[in-house]
């Protein structure tokens, strides 16, 4: 699940978002249904727990990605469009 959380955080969630908690529940379930469910199967009884754990991993990956960009690009005065 951790290897799946990183690409979701980098590719599907905007860096402009102030906080991961700013995403609505519908948006979070949409991410889960569109990005996680096709790759991982969960029993119906564990789907809510899997959703909660996956969103925690995605949130941590998103925060890490955002802070690394700030640390490596913004604070050093580099242009993100050129580097990436």
pLDDT score at 78: 73
Q: pTM of the prediction? A: 0.82
Alpha helical stretches, state H, 13-84: 25-31, 47-69, 80-83
Q: What is the pLDDT of residues 8-62, one digit of tens each?
A: 999 999 988 899 999 999 999 999 999 999 999 999 999 999 999 999 999 999 9
Closest CA to 51 of 15, 8, 19, 14: 8
Q: What is the pLDDT of residues 49-68, one digit of tens each?
A: 999 999 999 999 999 999 98
């Amino acid at each position: 699940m951790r290897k799946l959380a990183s690409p979701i955080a980098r590719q599907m969630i905007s860096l402009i978002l102030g906080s991961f908690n700013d995403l609505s529940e519908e948006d979070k379930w949409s991410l889960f249904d569109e990005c996680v469910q096709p790759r991982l199967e969960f029993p119906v009884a564990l789907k809510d727990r899997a959703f909660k754990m996956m969103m925690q991993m995605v949130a941590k990956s998103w925060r890490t990605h955002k802070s690394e960009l700030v640390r490596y690009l913004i604070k050093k005065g580099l242009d993100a469009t050129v580097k990436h």
